[in-house]
Amino acid sequence: MTPEELRDLTGETPPAGLAPPFQALWWLKKGGLETGPEWAKAHELAQGGEGDRLHDLVHALVHWIEGDDGNAAYWYRRSGAANDRAATKAAEWERIAGMVEY
């Protein structure tokens, strides 16, 4: 899986074999980085792996998209990325997508 493949939103569901944090990223992108049913799926996936750095990082982005800055800051701290956040939600999505394992 490459970041480019993660950006392919033509399917109804994330690409097969995608790890849960990246499935969550896919749902966030599919939903236009806004709240809604795709956001809810992403949130559920991120919550499912609490304590794992990548899950926590995606969880932070989920709450940033939601507009819950306090909760987002908490998850950024838990992920160890409190000072690494990109300037925009779209740029943060790209930054995290770049962490996809090949």
User: Per-residue pLDDT for 83 more than 90?
Assistant: no
How far apart are alpha carbons 24 and 35 in whole angstroms?
A: 13
Q: With pLDDT > 90 as the criterion, what percentage of the chain qualifies?
A: 76
DSSP three-state, residue 6: helix
User: Per-residue pLDDT for 14 more than 80?
Assistant: yes
Give the pLDDT confidence score for residue 102 in this predicted structure: 40
Q: Is 6 exposed, middle or buried (0-12, 13-18, 19+ CB in 10 A)?
A: buried
User: Per-residue pLDDT for 77 more than 70?
Assistant: yes
pTM for the whole structure: 0.93
Q: Where are the domains of the chain?
A: 25-97
Calculate mean pLDDT across residues 10-27. Answer: 92
- Measure CA of the first residue to CA of the last residue in the chain; give whole Å: 5
